């Protein structure tokens, strides 16, 4: 049975499928805008990467705490500082199927697509399905910035 034209719809106790999908899209956009992950619980205040004239990816060293990792979505780079003053960087492309390794869990780098885990200090595979590690990139410190090349 349909309501007569112009009649108010009865109140609904539940959200419609359309409302749920709109809400999920808004949450996805907010999550994507953070763009950065840190092993110490996330770092939405970290800077985005920039590019030097020679093509190097430039990020502030202060973005990555000792024992933490920072993911730069725009550059597809992960920077880790396994010990004070030692920085390493990796291409975030998972060797399993090309997803971006963008999460951390339990002190390891995590590919959200299929669950591969990598050592943040070496990029080596800790748990598959990936069979090879992340591609290491060269890192040099210039002032307070890290220059990532590779």
- Domain coordinates in residue numbering, the chain: 36-149
- The alpha carbon of 24 is separated from its chain's Cα centroid by a whole number of angstroms, namely 19
Can you tell me the distance from the alpha carbon of 99 to that of 96, in angstroms, rounded to the nearest whole number? Answer: 8
Tens of pLDDT, residue by residue over 50-87, are 899 999 999 999 999 999 999 999 999 999 999 999 99
**pTM for the whole structure:** 0.69
Q: Please name which of 91, 104, 97 lies closest in space to residue 149, comparing C-alpha atoms.
A: 91
Tens of pLDDT, residue by residue over 9-18, are 444 444 444 5
Instruction: Give the model's confidence band at 129: pLDDT under 50 very low, under 70 low, under 90 confident, else very high.
Output: very high
> Which residues does 89 contact at the CB level (< 8 Å), separation at least 6?
77, 78, 79, 80, 136, 137, 138, 139, 146, 148, 150
Q: What CATH code would you report for 36-149? A: 2.102.10.10
């Amino acid at each position: 049975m349909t309501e007569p034209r112009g009649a108010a719809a009865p109140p609904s106790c539940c959200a419609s499928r359309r409302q749920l999908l709109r809400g999920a899209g808004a949450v996805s956009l907010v999550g994507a805008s953070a763009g950065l992950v840190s092993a110490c619980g996330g770092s939405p205040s970290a800077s985005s990467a920039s590019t030097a004239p020679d093509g190097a990816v430039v990020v502030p060293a202060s973005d990555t705490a000792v024992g933490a990792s920072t993911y730069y979505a725009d550059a597809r780079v992960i920077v880790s500082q396994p010990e004070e003053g030692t920085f390493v960087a990796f291409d975030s492309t998972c060797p399993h199927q090309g997803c971006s390794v963008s999460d951390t869990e339990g002190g390891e780098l995590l590919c959200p697509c299929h669950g591969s885990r990598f050592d943040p200090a070496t990029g080596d595979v800790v748990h598959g399905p990936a069979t090879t590690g992340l591609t290491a990139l060269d890192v040099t410190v210039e002032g307070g910035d890290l220059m990532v090349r590779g």
